[in-house]
Amino acid sequence: MKKILVLGSTGQIGTALKNDLTKWCEVTFFNRNDLDFANIEPLNTKLKDLKPDFIINSAAYTNVDHAEEFIDKAFQVNSLAVEKLSKLANSIGAVLVHFSTDYVFDGKKNTPYAETEMPNPLSIYGKSKLEGEQFIEKNCSKFLILRTSGVISKNNDNFVSKIKKLAKTKKELSVINDQITTVNFSSYISKATSKIIQKIENNPDNENRWGIYHMSGSEPGSWFDFATYAQKMNKLSDPSSSFSQMKISPISSREFNQKAKRPKYSFLASDKLKINFGISLPNWKKSISEVIG
Ligand SMILES: NC(=O)c1ccc[n+]([C@@H]2O[C@H](COP(=O)([O-])OP(=O)(O)OC[C@H]3O[C@@H](n4cnc5c(N)ncnc54)[C@H](OP(=O)(O)O)[C@@H]3O)[C@@H](O)[C@H]2O)c1
């Protein structure tokens, strides 16, 4: 039975992986107490004991606006720790599966981004995540970098949970309508990741599908689209709730003035994932329905 080590077990994707991996492999989950990315030196000894065949890194500094202020922390977790992790994974012959983001792109296009397109991040978060990717490409012979966007889930902190929470104290909410991306349910990402690993687990040494993959649903939308659809779904099950009653209005990025710059368009084309692994994610409406339902 293959051994898998998951880092970042308390996050949205890490939590979802608990459901999907435990069914078919021997898996160890590390949270921040088990391994703090501020200093990942102890991983060296832990890996010698665990000897994992696969390491999945779902830990990251994910607060895009805070990263503009806590620059060193963002780079430590998303880049420097990943440099060390990539070297350690390679030294024990483990496959490194790492998550990254659509925010590596500058959004100057208005058609879906393929893996072959040149990244040019606008934010500290995007820059730190891109640097992490580059360390993995340099240091690992067996790796998968899975870029996704707008992760949402039932419990953790995310776009849908935030707007629902805001509805408890606000009657009106302005939501950005000129940033085009998509949202993906954490469990869809986790199931797809689990399937990929099952497809390569038996013969990783003869595998030739290593590299960067975009992993996203098949339709783009704006944050305003996602918010209004989430409200529509919520009205079906809970019409009198504060979220169902809240007035949601569109606002431009310029007027909203977020601390970190985001791409105007960062929708990821996931054709390579479909072609190489036969895997595709459901669209954002399905993702939102799962989270609201
Ligand atoms: N969230 C999104 O919208 C989004 C979009 C595109 C790509 N992604 C990528 O997808 C991956 C997973 O995202 P997610 O939404 O699951 O993230 P998340 O819910 O924010 O979870 C992040 C995880 O990283 C851990 N972490 C943060 N700093 C750490 C440190 N210093 N040491 C050890 N662990 C630390 C957190 O631990 P604690 O619980 O202890 O804080 C948590 O387990 C990341 O690579 C992210 O860049 C996310």
Mutate-to-test residue for ligand 1 from 6, 15, 36, 58, highest number of ligand atoms within 8 A of CB: 58
Contact 198, 24 (CB under 8 A): yes
Task: Tell me if 146 is assigned to some domain.
Answer: yes
Query: Is the pLDDT reported for residue 156 higher than 80?
Result: no
Task: Tell me if 82 is assigned to some domain.
Answer: yes
Which pair of tokens denotes residue 177?
A: 């309508």
Among the atoms of ligand 1, which is closest to the Cα of residue 186? Answer: 16
Tokens 């994932």 correspond to 273
Contact 133, 100 (CB under 8 A): yes
Query: Is the pLDDT reported for residue 293 higher than 90?
Result: no
Instruction: Give residue 82's pLDDT.
Output: 98
Tens of pLDDT along 210-257? 999 999 999 999 999 999 999 999 999 999 999 999 999 999 999 998
Instruction: Give residue 155's pLDDT.
Output: 78
Which candidate in 103, 125, 213, 229 is catalytic?
125
Contact 130, 121 (CB under 8 A): yes
Which pair of tokens denotes residue 104?
A: 């590596």
Instruction: Give residue 237's pLDDT.
Output: 92
Q: For the chain, give the longest Cα–Cα distance.
A: 57
User: What are the two backbone dihedrals, phi and then psi, of residue 106, each rounded to the nearest 5 degrees?
Assistant: -90, -10
Catalytic site includes residue 125: yes
Task: Tell me if 237 is assigned to some domain.
Answer: no
- Alpha carbons 213 and 98: distance in angstroms, whole number: 10
pTM of the model: 0.98
Q: Strand 184-185 vs strand 54-57: parallel, antiparallel, or unpaired?
A: unpaired
- CA 226 – ligand 1 centroid, Å: 21
One-letter amino acid for residue 115 of the chain:
E
- Alpha carbons 80 and 90: distance in angstroms, whole number: 16
Tens of pLDDT along 45-87? 999 999 999 999 999 999 999 999 999 999 999 999 999 999 9
- CA 160 – ligand 1 centroid, Å: 16
Contact 86, 96 (CB under 8 A): yes
Instruction: Give residue 101's pLDDT.
Output: 98
CATH number of the domain encompassing residue 98? 3.40.50.720
CB atoms within 10 A of CB 280: 16
DSSP letter at 34 equals T
- The DSSP H or E segment spanning 54 is strand 54-57
Q: How many domains would you assign to the chain?
A: 1
When pLDDT is cut at 50, 70 and 90, the band that residue 203 belongs to is: confident
Which domain does 39 fall in, by range?
A: 3-158+183-219+266-282
| Non-local CB neighbours of 257 within 8 Å, separated by 6+ positions | none
Among the atoms of ligand 1, which is closest to the Cα of residue 63? Answer: 20
- CA 18 – ligand 1 centroid, Å: 15
Task: Tell me if 259 is assigned to some domain.
Answer: no
Mutate-to-test residue for ligand 1 from 62, 85, 148, highest number of ligand atoms within 8 A of CB: 62
- CA 169 – ligand 1 centroid, Å: 27
